[in-house]
Structure 1
Amino acid sequence: MTTLVIASGNAGKVREFSKLLADLGLHIQQQPEGLDVEETGSTFAENARIKAEAVARATGCWALADDSGLSVDALGGAPGVHSARYADTDTARIERLLQELATAGAATTVARSAQFTAALALANPDGEVVLEVEGICPGTILKSPRGEGGFGYDPVFFVPEAGLTFAEMPHSQKAGLGHRGRAFAALKPRLSELLSSTAP
Structure 2
Amino acid sequence: MSARTLVIASGNAGKIREFAGLLEHLPLTMKPQPEGMEVEETGLTFAENARIKARAVAAATGHWALADDSGLSVDALDGAPGVFSARYAESDPARIARLLQELGDTDNRSAYFSAALCIAAPDGSVLVEVEGRCDGVITTTPRGAEGFGYDPIFEVLGTGQTFAEMDRERKKSHGHRGRAFTLLEPQLHQLLAGS
**TM-score, structure 2 normalization:** 0.92
Within 5 Å, give how 1:157-176 maps onto structure 2. Answer: 157-176=154-173
Q: 2:50 aligns with which of 40, 48, 51?
A: 48
- Report the equivalent of 2:145: 148
Superposed CA deviations along residues 82-132 of structure 1, whole A, max 9, x for unmatched, are 111111222221121111112xx622xxx2110011110010121111210
Is 2:139 the partner of 1:137? no
Cα distance, 1:22 vs. partner?
Answer: 1.5
Tell me the amino acid that sits aligned with residue 109 of structure 2: R
Identify the match of residue 84 of structure 1 among 83, 86, 94.
86
Q: 1:106 matched to which residue of 2?
A: 106
Matches for 1:1-200 after TM superposition, within 5 Å: 2-102=4-104, 106-107=106-107, 111-198=108-195
Runs of 4+ in 1 over 4 A off after TM superposition: none
Q: Distance in 2 between matches of 1:23 and 1:193?
A: 15
Larger Rg: 1
CA contact (8 A) 2:110 2:138 kept: yes
d(CA) in 2 for partners of 1:56, 1:118: 20
- Counterparts of 2:12 and 2:100, CA distance in 1: 27
Letter in 2 for 1:78: A
Gaps of 5+ in 1: none
| Partner Cα separation in structure 2 for residue 90 and residue 151 of structure 1 | 7
Structure 2 unmatched ranges of 5 or more: none
Q: How many residues align?
A: 193
SS in 1 for 2:79: coil
Q: 1:11 to 1:149 in 2, by over 3 A?
A: closer
Q: Is the 8 A contact 2:76 2:109 kept in 1?
A: yes
- Give the % identical residues: 65
CA contact (8 A) 2:72 2:114 kept: yes
1:123-175 CA-to-partner distances (Å, cap 9, x unmatched) read 01211112101111100112222223222211211112212111222222112
Give, as a single letter, the amino acid of the residue that structure 1 aligns with 2:185. Answer: K
Per the normalisation by structure 1, the TM-score is: 0.90
Q: Hey, what's the Cα distance between the residues in 2 that align with 1:120 and 1:149?
A: 23
Question: Closer, same or farther in 2 for the Cα pair 1:40/1:175, shift >3 Å?
Answer: same
